[in-house]
Amino acid sequence: MEHTEDVIRARRSVRTFDGKPLSPSDLESLSAFAEQIDNPYGIPVEFRFLDATKQKLPCPIVTGTNHFVGGKVRKVPHMEEAFGYTMETLVLYAQSLGIGSVWIGGTMDRPAFEQAMELTGEERMPCMSPLGYPATKRSIKETMMRKAIHADSRELFASLFFDGSFGKPLTREKACQLAVPLEMVRLAPSAVNRQPWRVVVTERAAHFYLKHTKGFVSQPVGDMQKIDVGIALCHFDLCAQERKIPAQFTVHNPGLQTDPDTEYIGSYLLS
């Protein structure tokens, strides 16, 4: 894969594709890659590559491709974070091959996709994505949707990341070697572009939190905002690895949160 940082900066959700099927070699590369992705929780996530025409899978927000990938995971604690991390690794790999995608957790015919994924009673398919080559111009529907949710903007660095405690905003200068990995978190995709991730950086660790958006209810298929934080962990981790910043994942609440809407997710220990 090219530099993760470049891939993350280039990625945008794609809902409008150019109508060409994926080449056999791209499909082969994607499915081979999908089989060996790991996540910090060690929770297995299985991907299936689906054909919307053959398998009758309606997804009206997407045009110009029949290729979809769904992921499934057993319903266990932390399944959402593990799912978010794993599927985002696949999304970034696809992007590095010039293949567009968009996380879809809501706007689909869920029963049809779940049937195509052959879920057992214990499994969940929180999200899926189309895959294909991006069209040169977005559909009007997609353009309007992006505008409505301000898909191109992100919160300020100092509103998302904190210096030692939640009361103190972190500057890029103070973040030092973590400035770029945190910037990669900032650019991550999230459900309805809510960007619910928060990070408190101390001398020894980067602690990740979920700031729940009011009225955003957790679905039986999984809490979309925990998936968002899983995606953020992926961006941080891949970027830290590439920059050879030693960062080890652990779930051990340091007890820093002050707001009842903010939930501890996990930490990268820095050594």
Judged by CB under 6 A, which of 106, 164, 246, 254 binds ligand FMN?
Answer: 106
CB of 113 to ligand FMN, least distance (A): 11
Q: What does the alpha-carbon distance between residue 135 and residue 60 come to, in Å, rounded to a whole number? A: 16
CB of 270 to ligand FMN, least distance (A): 26
Does 201 bind ligand FMN (CB under 6 A)? Our answer is: no
Does 100 bind ligand FMN (CB under 6 A)? Our answer is: no
CB of 124 to ligand FMN, least distance (A): 13
Q: Measured between alpha carbons, how far is residue 224 from residues 54, 185, 263 in Å?
A: 28, 16, 14
CB of 192 to ligand FMN, least distance (A): 6
Q: What does the alpha-carbon distance between residue 193 and residue 172 come to, in Å, rounded to a whole number? A: 22
Binding segment for ligand FMN (CB under 6 A), chosen from 116-124, 168-176, 223-231, 250-258, is 223-231
Q: Which two tokens stand for residue 240?
A: 């830290």
Residue 34 or 102 having the CB closest to ligand FMN: 102
Does 12 bind ligand FMN (CB under 6 A)? Our answer is: yes
Residue 92 or 245 having the CB closest to ligand FMN: 92
Q: Are strands 197-201 and 161-163 parallel, antiparallel or unpaired?
A: parallel
Cα 252 from chain centroid (whole Å): 22
Does 99 bind ligand FMN (CB under 6 A)? Our answer is: no
Q: What does the alpha-carbon distance between residue 174 and residue 159 come to, in Å, rounded to a whole number? A: 14
One character per residue 65-84, x = contact with ligand FMN (rule: CB under 6 A): --------------------
Judged by CB under 6 A, which of 5, 114, 228, 237 binds ligand FMN?
Answer: 228
Residue 14: phi, psi to the nearest 5? -120, 120
Furthest C-alpha separation in the chain: 54
Q: Which two tokens stand for residue 246?
A: 């030693």
Does 113 bind ligand FMN (CB under 6 A)? Our answer is: no
Does 219 bind ligand FMN (CB under 6 A)? Our answer is: no
Does 151 bind ligand FMN (CB under 6 A)? Our answer is: yes
Q: Which two tokens stand for residue 164?
A: 């030692």
Does 177 bind ligand FMN (CB under 6 A)? Our answer is: no
Q: Measured between alpha carbons, how far is residue 24 from residues 19, 28, 214 in Å?
A: 15, 6, 44
Residue 192 or 256 having the CB closest to ligand FMN: 192
CB 17 within 8 A of CB 64: yes
Binding segment for ligand FMN (CB under 6 A), chosen from 48-56, 166-174, 187-195, 236-244, is 187-195
Q: What does the alpha-carbon distance between residue 76 and residue 83 come to, in Å, rounded to a whole number? A: 11
Helix, strand, or coil (residue 164): coil
Residue 64 or 205 having the CB closest to ligand FMN: 64
Q: Which two tokens stand for residue 71?
A: 């992921």
Residues that bind ligand FMN (CB under 6 A): 12-13, 15, 61, 102-107, 127, 149, 151, 189-193, 224, 227-228, 231
